[in-house]
Chains A and B, each alone.
Chain A
Amino acid sequence: MEDPVRASLDHCVKCTICETACPVAQVTPLFPGPKYEGPQAERFRQPGASADHSVDYCSGCGICSQVCPHGVKIAEINSRARAAYKAEVGAPLRDRVLARPGVTGPMGSPVAPVVNRVMANGPARWVLERAVGLHHSAPVPPYAPRSFQRWARSHRRGAGVHPDGRSVVYFHGCSTNWFEPDLGRMVVAVLERNGVQVRVPDQGCCGLPLQSNGLFEPARRTLRHLAHDLAAGGGDEPVVASSSSCGLMLKREGREILGLADEDLRAMGERTYDICEFLLDLHDQGALDTDFRRLPLRVLYHAPCQQRGHAMGTPALDLLRLVPGMEVVESAGGCCGIAGTYGLKKEKYGIAMAVGEPLFEQVRTGNPDVVACDGETCRWQITAASDHSSVHPVALLFWAYGLEL
């Protein structure tokens, strides 16, 4: 039986809808577009003989697959082509380091003050750009002094949470652990506020940065390891993720892009929820505490590309609209450009900034009090490019509940 992702190229009728929706192809001729890279170029590919390099300019946002009216797995085909290309020509050191936050995190966190000062230092960043190709202006967040997991290990279950009640496994992801532990604490607090018991098993990376950098073999190992960790000591309780892109790895991309056919991974994917999706489900069941205080904020909500890949609507938007006094506007779509590690790279930084410009312009002119966005790298990109603060939607719910860290 032929691989279904590759076989999906047969559905392409060249309607070109994907090309008109691709944010990268619109700003650079270096990327000839998703139709070219996907159903077209794929007909010229065979194992072990990559003939194309332009596919490396695909940011992996996945919009092409979302808009294809015929079901061509364009982004998936392109990701695999990039992986095949990288497997043949090799990935640069920079990509191999950026792709492993689960390795760099434990190294950087203990020496956070030093690393953070270096990364915030202009001349040092220029040296880094010259040496390894990390763009000097790329948004790199500072390490937190204390990881989320360290906090979670000593965390006592919150008041009001019944031990026999609803329970979830929290998949916090690398960014929460090393850069934004406060977000993790807010997620736990919001869930506990709603009577949900939160288990936080020790866990590593989901493998997404490896995958998006074309390093499929380590990505597969990493994702399998994560699934194993999240399943440890538990039954089949829901897995809740606060990173929309990492959650998508568990839900779908591990199978569809990495080609993992593991039954336990499939089962875990089916019980994985984005945090906002989970909370909105609670609300639909009448189980969400909507006793929010008035929070008179003008919020611009931006759904990341990967969030749209969940095909779950915009639960964050629905939740934020429950908060009295909050004025929420949805961004006019578009990609912020960062696409995980893509926009950090010297040769792609300019492309990423050009891709995100319409969004940044909307932020600047709309001048909201805060930008809400489900993806961490998107938030860092938006803040760096528009000089407006950005938060995860759950942070706004946390404040609306009147909770404190």
Chain B
Amino acid sequence: MQTIETEVLVIGGGATGVGVARDAALRGFATVLVERKDLAEGTTGRYHGLLHSGGRYAVKDPQAARECAAENGVLRRIAADCIEDTGGLFVTTPWDDVEFGDRFLAGCAATGVGVEEIEVGAALVREPALNPDIRRAFLVADASMDAWKLAWACARSAVEHGARVLTYHRVTEVLRNGDAVAGVVTVDVRTGVTLTVRAQVTVNATGAWAGQLAALAGCRPVDVVPGKGIMIAMNHRIVNTVLNRCTMPSDGDIIVPIRTVSVVGTTDSPVTDPDQLEVTQAEVDHMLDEGEKLVPGFRKARALRVWAGARPLFGAKEPGDEKTRDITRAHTLLDHRQRDGLDGFVTITGGKATTFRLMAEETMDLVARMASPGTDRPCRTATLPLPDSEPGAYYAVGSRLAQRERHLLDDQLVCECELVSRRDLTEALDRRPTANIDDIRRALRLGMGPCQGGFCTYRATGILHHQERLDQATANRALLDFLQERWKGLAPILYGDQLRQARLDDWLYQGLLDVEHLPAAAGAP
């Protein structure tokens, strides 16, 4: 069995984990990150994509609001390439209390959240699809953030500074050395090969799964309640500004324009297992009804896909006995030496994507004291931009179209909806060999548009096979797995245009290609 030694071991490849790994590497620590699936495949990749201004928590959760406001400014400096500067509006709809706007303004002032009340008419000029019956409107610095891009940029930066990032490595055992955690045993789920990672300090950055990992480490229970939130991506950008209801945070009160879609969210209900997140018809209906309040006609727009994420919420007693929405959205850092007498082990959980960097900084401040006491290794992540990001150079929704226009004559389009070309596909595969089209999807957004893989999946699989990256049976398996994955997010929203699309896709794959009878390799683990 192979063993590697490191100073800092990070478990979990979500925003927090890659943030900790980058922070650790920048401080000069030997760093290894292990993730059981792909980067940002858990909660980070399953949220609506909002970079909070802090406005959402200004009244209810001042600490979270303060942190969001500060980190919003930091991320705009270091991660501009992952952020689209959409701006955000908080609006008072006819269903909301007009007076709440005053509390909102006061809350923003008290927590350092930048806000400006604007005329309703000005809000409607800015967003013509907005409900014309709104009574107040407040402009804030909300933005949309591509969490995958962010996670990959952090990981790349960490690797550039010496870290190792091991995806598809699942932790099977936490190694103990008396009263200390000494590392973990992992298994590469693709090959079955086990790998031991020995570390001075192990960081549990598994978010909603933190309780599960803490149990493996054998410490007192870490009480993380996964809070399920569902989100629906609508087929195009119905608005270009983040829209929030100016009221206490509630279900379905936000629409985020991100990349080519508008995401409406979200719900909040406690669940026991973050790997089992079902979406019900009632939840979908509820989201659409709430979306209708912000944008009349919302229900008539085409729903592309629905998914659910599990928030890591720390501090509830047991699932079911209190509403998870009332738990603070600020994060929690546990030093298990103080808490459980268990050395070399810390847990960082709670929080949100917007504050991932701050969480990483606080975590590494603690880890640095544990791993190299007496030395000063300051955090550098607040000022050093991520690879490919320049302060002020925000992502623009038209950038892919502009790029495509430059290559109309010399490159083939593979994914028409998200404008992914053959060259994009080949380059992504050169960077990261994979037999999993879902990995390619997260890197390129292949298959994420209106047809949900209907026309690009067979093309991409064919190209992979043609380039001899996949043999026939593996290619067929990859095709089937990807279609199955896409289908999961379609089933609960099959009505109208998307139903029509699903029928056409079904004719292609079942009728024309008879995919269910292809000679396919055994399913991936």
Contacts and interface: CB of A to CB of B under 8 A. Distances in A.
Q: Which among A6, A43, A54 has the greatest number of chain B C-beta atoms within 10 A?
A: A43
Given A3-B128, A52-B401, A13 B504 contact: yes
Contacts of A50: 398
A2 B405 contact: no
A54 B408 contact: yes
A41 interface: yes
A159 interface: no
A133 B504 CA distance: 45
Interface in B94-120: none
Contact of A51 (B236, B297, B402, B409): B402
Nearest to A7: B301
A46 interface: yes
A12 B417 CA distance: 10
Contacts of B128: 1-3
19 contacts: A1-B296, A3-B129, A9-B236, A10-B235, A10-B450, A11-B302, A30-B408, A30-B409, A43-B235, A43-B237, A43-B260, A44-B401, A45-B398, A47-B240, A51-B405, A52-B401, A52-B402, A54-B405, A54-B408
Interface string A3-33: 1001101111111000000000000011010
Given A14-B416, A43-B237, A46-B398, A32 B408 contact: yes
Interface string A43-83: 11111011111100000000000000010000000000000
B217 to A, nearest CB: 46
Contacts of B419: 40, 44
Nearest to B418: A43
B432 interface: no
Contacts of A12: 450
Interface string B228-241: 00000001111010
Contacts of B400: 44
When A and B form their complex, which 10 residue pairs have the shortest distance between CB atoms, in order from nearest? A51-B398, A10-B302, A44-B401, A51-B402, A51-B401, A43-B260, A2-B129, A13-B501, A43-B236, A10-B235
A40 B402 contact: no
A36 interface: yes
B498 to A, nearest CB: 9
A14 B455 contact: yes
If over half of A's interface residues share one DSSP class (helix, strand or loop), that class is named, otherwise mixed; here it is loop
A308 B246 CA distance: 50
B134 to A, nearest CB: 14
A14 B450 contact: yes
B38 interface: no
Interface residues of A, number: 33
Interface in A202-246: none
A72 to B, nearest CB: 10
Contacts of B261: 43
A251 interface: no
A253 to B, nearest CB: 21
Given A10-B301, A49-B396, 10 more contacts: A11-B500, A14-B501, A30-B409, A35-B416, A40-B419, A43-B260, A43-B449, A46-B397, A50-B398, A51-B399
Q: Which among A12, A35, A47, A54 has the greatest number of chain B C-beta atoms within 10 A?
A: A12
Contacts of A54: 405, 408
A182 interface: no
Q: Which among B129, B238, B260, B408 has the greatest number of chain A C-beta atoms within 10 A?
A: B408
B297 A2 contact: yes
Interface string A348-390: 0000000000000000000000000000000000000000000
A3 B417 CA distance: 21
Given A13-B451, A54-B405, A70-B500, A46 B295 contact: no
B398 A14 contact: no
A44 B260 contact: yes
Contacts of A7: 297, 300-301
Given A50-B398, A51-B398, A2 B451 contact: no
A1 B396 contact: no
Interface in B401-440: 401-402, 404-405, 408-409, 413, 416-417, 419
Contact of A10 (B408, B454, B497): B497
Nearest to A4: B297
Interface in B475-520: 497, 500-501, 504
A188 B408 CA distance: 50
A31 to B, nearest CB: 9
Interface string B269-282: 00000000000000
A44 B504 contact: no
A29 B407 CA distance: 11
Nearest to B239: A2
B495 to A, nearest CB: 12
Nearest to A2: B129
Contacts of A256: none
A41 B450 contact: no
A12 B401 CA distance: 18
Contacts of B236: 6, 9-10, 42-43
Contacts of A35: 416
Contacts of B455: 14
Contacts of A10: 235-236, 301-302, 450, 497
B240 to A, nearest CB: 5
A35 to B, nearest CB: 7
B405 A53 contact: yes
Contacts of B260: 43-44
Contacts of A29: 408-409
A41 B413 CA distance: 13
Given A44-B397, A45-B401, A51-B401, A14 B454 contact: yes
A49 B449 CA distance: 21
A2 B402 contact: no
A13 B504 CA distance: 8
A49 B394 CA distance: 13
Given A47-B240, A49-B398, A2 B295 contact: yes
A187 to B, nearest CB: 42
B417 A40 contact: yes
Contacts of A32: 408
A46 B398 CA distance: 8
Contacts of B240: 46-47
Contact of A41 (B302, B399, B401, B497): B401
B227 to A, nearest CB: 31
A2 B417 CA distance: 21
Contact of B405 (A1, A9, A39, A52): A52
B398 A44 contact: yes
Q: Which among B237, B240, B401, B454 has the greatest number of chain A C-beta atoms within 10 A?
A: B401
Contacts of A15: 504
A354 to B, nearest CB: 17
Nearest to B302: A10
Contacts of A51: 396, 398-399, 401-402, 405
Contacts of B450: 10, 12-14, 39
Nearest to A10: B302
A395 B416 CA distance: 47
Q: Which among A10, A15, A46 has the greatest number of chain B C-beta atoms within 10 A?
A: A10
A54 B236 CA distance: 21
Contacts of B300: 7
A176 B497 CA distance: 45
A3 to B, nearest CB: 7
Nearest to B454: A14
A53 B500 CA distance: 31
A11 B408 contact: no
Contacts of B409: 29-30
